Each structure stands twice: as structure tokens, then as C-alpha cells.
Structure 1
Amino acid sequence: MADKKSRKNKNQPNNTIAVNRQATHEYFIEERFEAGLVLQGWEVKSLRDGRVQLKESYVLLKRGEAWLSGAHISALLSASTHIKPEAVRSKKLLLHRHELGKLIGSVERKGYTLIPLSMYWKNGRAKLEIGLAKGKQLHDKRATSKERDWQREKARIMKHA
């Protein structure tokens, strides 16, 4: 019986494509949103192969639309013969009108930043989780690191007790 469970978990695909680990270190994430992406065919194939990097990417708001900039999607060698793949192309994000209104208001009036947190598959479509964030200062980063170390130490103590 236990073998069936472990086999079942092994066969389930991992939906996460890429994670921006630096985001939680550099920013306080206030709110999270899920956005769809407008992609070209070769980009989808590269995403399936895991060839994406969100480390230096950011979200821009232009003319009432959200755009992902700086995300690096490297093309496969067998991408296409008639298309010249552009690795760092701006990609349009698909959000509801009320979500866009909320994001525009927060960014322009309250001084928030929009950063991509992770990219994943949902029902066969690529989705991007973006965070409404405020930047951390050096002392905030130290406090976060200290808290994370304390939680790890506490878990270790509880495990041995």
C-alpha cells in the first residue's frame, strides 16, 4: 500500500517552472496576484524544458497594461528556422481590469513595486505569480535572517526534545 502512494507522488509532475528566490530577501511581499502570460510557441517549449530565469525581472505598468520585463527565456536549439528568438523580450501579463486598477493605484500613489515571484503551470497554461511589494532596508534584511535562523533552531530543539 505504501508503495502505491510513493509511486503516485513520483508520477505527479512538478508544476513550478521557476522561482525568484531573491524577491523575499529584497522585499516585503504585501499581496500576491496570479497573471497569465502572452507567449510565443518557442517560449512555451523552452518553459517546458525549464529554461527561464526570473532573477533580474520586474513588472512594468504601461498604458493600463502590465508587462513582464527582464525575464530571460533561452531558446531551445530546435526552436524554429524562420523565427529569430529574442531571449529577453517584454511579455504582456493578463490580469482582470479590477486587479490592474488596484495595482496601478498602489504603484503610483503608495510607492509599491511589482515583482515576479514564481512561474508555474496551471491547467496546461503558464502562470506568473506577481507580488505587490515594498523594498527592505539593510536592518530589515538582518532581522528577517535572524528570525529565519531562530525558527530553524527552534524546530531543531523541538525535534530533539
Structure 2
Amino acid sequence: MPLLSSVDLRPSVHHSTIDIGAIAFSQQPDNDDVVMIPAEGLRLSSHDPSFYPAMTLEHLSHAPESTPPGGWDYQRIFNGVTLGDNVSVLGLFGTYFGQLNLPSGRYDLRLLRRRDEAPVRGEEPPQVIDDTLDEDEEDEVDGPTEDAVEHWLIQFWPSTE
């Protein structure tokens, strides 16, 4: 595969959404519960129980010849999307998680998703309460604490249209 650049991310999911942009689409998805296109971007519906799905963005020199291995359960290609200077991954409230730098222009985009089986959890250990934490600090998590169950691959290559 003619990979020019890539970035691996673990964005935080709020209200089951991840936003990717800025991308201008010439086609809208019909009857698709995985992807929406609000304004200039792509909104993905994520249901990773860790709230931190794995995401890879790739810039390819030309269209891929085949689907990468991995047991993908969702695949969609968008032809002729228009990009600015980069593609950013944002949370619902505008939290920035990273970007893939791409030259401005028209691209084709392939979106792939797979879900691994969630690990079976044994009996939960008894909760230990630490009285030194404030109530507000107890619920805050700075990043993923377990492996992702949901994996996204978003590939961009120059459009031939």
C-alpha cells in the first residue's frame, strides 16, 4: 500500500460522537446510522465501551487495491471530497485530539470500522474510596484505561474525478 503518512489516535467519545473535519462532501449518506455529514465534516457514531476508540487516519498516494485485513464490519467510500490543509479529529465539545496533515485538494475517502469482542469481566473488586480526592476529581480520567473495542480506519487518496 502506498502510505505517505498516518496518525494513530484514541479520541474521547461524548454522546457517541466523533467529529472529523473540515471536509466538504458532494454526496450525503442515506439511511446510515454510522456516519452523518453535518456542515463541513464527518460525524461518526461510536459505541466503544472504553469511550476511547482506536482511530487511524492515513494519506495514500493512490487508491488502495484491496481492503486491509481486520474483519471490518462497516465500509464506505466517498468520492470527490474537498479538504483544506489538514483533517482534525474533534470531540463533541470541540476538544482537539489530533490531525493528519494533507495538501488542500479533492480526495476520495474510505471509512472502515470493526468491533472486537468486549472482554468478559470477572467479578469486580471491592471499591476502595480514597478520601484524599475531591468529589470532582474522582470521575475524571485523563485517557484510555483499557484496550479499544472499536477500531476506525479513515484513508484519503487523491481523487481521479
* Higher relative helix content: 1
TM-score (norm 1): 0.26
Structure (1 or 2) with the larger CA radius of gyration = 1
The answer to which structure has the higher strand fraction is 2
* TM-score, normalization by structure 2: 0.26
